Structure 1
């Protein structure tokens, strides 16, 4: 069964569960446009999650999901809300869903973890998850070490469940490449930041548009939680302190509340503008619907061109 059939969506595209950003205006728009909108529940109370779920339900009758950051202490309460509100798709990150699998599957919930390695992908398949998002280090926010180009085909070869490619995808060529590497779909985050429906401050959107291919860097490797963001004065200071072996407390004090400052206050100098390396290709603000339909039109066009590509003495099937 394809990922679109499994989830009941038109286009095989997930919107990343970005904390503070992936809320009802964006999530509902993505689902209405034929993708899978995903509520980012990072930092949510149970009441806040319930409120967001109900807002999304009011804005769309299409499937949507909730992303769970499993490092949070209130995951059991959030899962209770998910079950009570009838959400049928969950993506997970920052930990293993193992303690919750029985409960989730008893209620018919599709579970799709985001993984950074083949080893973890195999563990997730053995656990009984329904699909996997293989996310490369090019992505914005919390990242692993392996690039999408290297990770995706290895994960696709290692498991028999559907694989979704993520990290460094912002146009139709990226979608076509992900499918060529073994994916059944893609997850996109950074490109959604520059949409009309994305509920971030205009300064945040402009920072993504102004960025180029060298504008991001990774902080937090010494803490065991690497995060990719656009460079600014706060990021530079964080890297300086990290290089000087500053304490976890000192580093966390510097970055405390930085994502909220960027997202809601538009502070792109001392705030954390989480975005992926592909932000250099994000150069204008569009609606979510325009973004998704354009990307898949480009993907189809790209695949059509590849069908006539000559590879030395061989030719691609369909030439």
Structure 2
């Protein structure tokens, strides 16, 4: 079975998701140093701040890493310039198409991996020259599409010739094995990395994840057009109550504005948006990144009889 490790130059076929505002250099460097592909968030950063984050990763490891670009950000052109100048080897993209930036990135030798929620978008990304697609199901935390990972991945695999990486609802080696059985060459995991010792989030956030059970995630912002999966809390309850009362998109948007920062910076588990995937109920304890990667890959190898 071919694995994405040849493209990524990593020990494990595992990418750490570029979680908005959470995937900073501490976590990214630890993941890359341990054999996965760490992915820096660029959300909320200007050019100089992104450069500092990139340099901070390189101070801690010489292994490959990526930068995630949420393409709806207003300063993407500035961030692309930094990525090119800093010779970052990989970029993952979401919330739009990287088409306009592909010539510049490719000329600089930057490999682009595009997160996609459908077969149609996977084909479009292949046409513009991305190196691989990350087929992400609605089980994932944060902003989501409307197809499950189990349904999406094999359909994408059948329709494109480039490598497919599975994401959404993958939290251990069993999930990795399932993704590989569906035809993916690797996986992207997000929520599982939040419960590592190197994840730079407050203890209240980690405790909420450890206490979560299978039905503890909720989806808000559907009415806004940006469906968001988080843990259930008073904020999500308030959101749904406003929807039932006929609140406008503007009112709903204002309610949710900045709530992610309230969760991970302030540790407010009542009024913060606690981004987490449906796999949160599987996660029971905090552990080092290296332990997570080694355990999950060994588990997948044993299931699939891989060497």
TM-score, structure 2 normalization: 0.97
Give a deviation string over 1:206-253, Cα, whole Å, max 9, x none: 101100110001111111110100000011111221333322221122
Structure 1 counterpart SS, 2:59? helix
Residue of structure 2 in register with 1:113 after alignment: 114
Query: Which runs of structure 2 are paired with 1:148-297 in the superposition (5 Å)?
Result: 148-297=149-298
Counterpart in the other structure of 2:70: 69
Q: Which runs of 5 or more structure 2 residues have no equivalent in the other structure?
A: none
CA gap 1:182/1:243 in 2 versus in 1, 3 angstroms: farther
- Which residue of 2 is the match for residue 18 of structure 1? 19
Q: CA deviation at 1:45?
A: 1.1
> 1:236 is paired with a residue of what secondary structure?
helix
CA offset at residue 34 of structure 1? Answer: 0.2
1:302 aligned onto 2:303 = yes
Q: Which residue of 2 aligns with 1:313?
A: none
TM-score normalized by the length of structure 1: 0.94
Q: Which residue pairs with 2:32 in the alignment?
A: 31
Q: Deviations over 1:78-132 (max 9, x none)?
A: 0001111110200000000011111111111100010000110011101111000
Distance in 1 separating the partners of 2:246 and 2:50:
37
Deviations 1:47-93 (A, max 9, x none): 11111001001011000000000000100000001111110200000
Of structures 1 and 2, the larger Rg is shown by: 1
Which sits farther off after the overlay, 273-282 or 295-304?
A: 295-304
What are the superposed Cα offsets for residues 255-295 of structure 1, whole Å, 9 maximum, x if unpaired?
12211111011111100100000100000000000000000
1:6 CA drift (Å): 1.1
Equivalent position of 2:128 in the other structure:
127
Contact 1:220 1:242 in 2 (8 A): no
Would you say the 8 A contact 2:3–2:186 is kept in 1?
A: no
Q: Which runs of 4+ in 1 moved over 6 A?
A: none
1:2 CA drift (Å): 4.2
Q: What CA RMSD, in Å, does the superposition of the two structures yield over aligned residues?
A: 1.1
Q: Does 1:97 align with 2:98?
A: yes
Say if 1:125 and 1:243 are closer, same or farther in 2 by CA, change over 3 A: farther
Q: Partners in 2 of 1:101 and 1:239 — Cα distance?
A: 40
Q: Which segments of 5 or more consecutive residues in structure 1 lack a partner in the other structure? A: 308-319
Residue aligning to 2:84:
83
| Cα distance in 2 for residues equivalent to 1:76 and 1:245 | 38
Deviation at 1:42, TM superposition (A): 1.2
How far is the alpha carbon of 1:254 from its aligned partner?
1.2
SS in 1 for 2:223: helix
Instruction: Tell me if structure 2 keeps the 8 A contact 1:22–1:39.
Output: yes
How many residues of Structure 1 are paired with residues of Structure 2 in the alignment?
Answer: 305
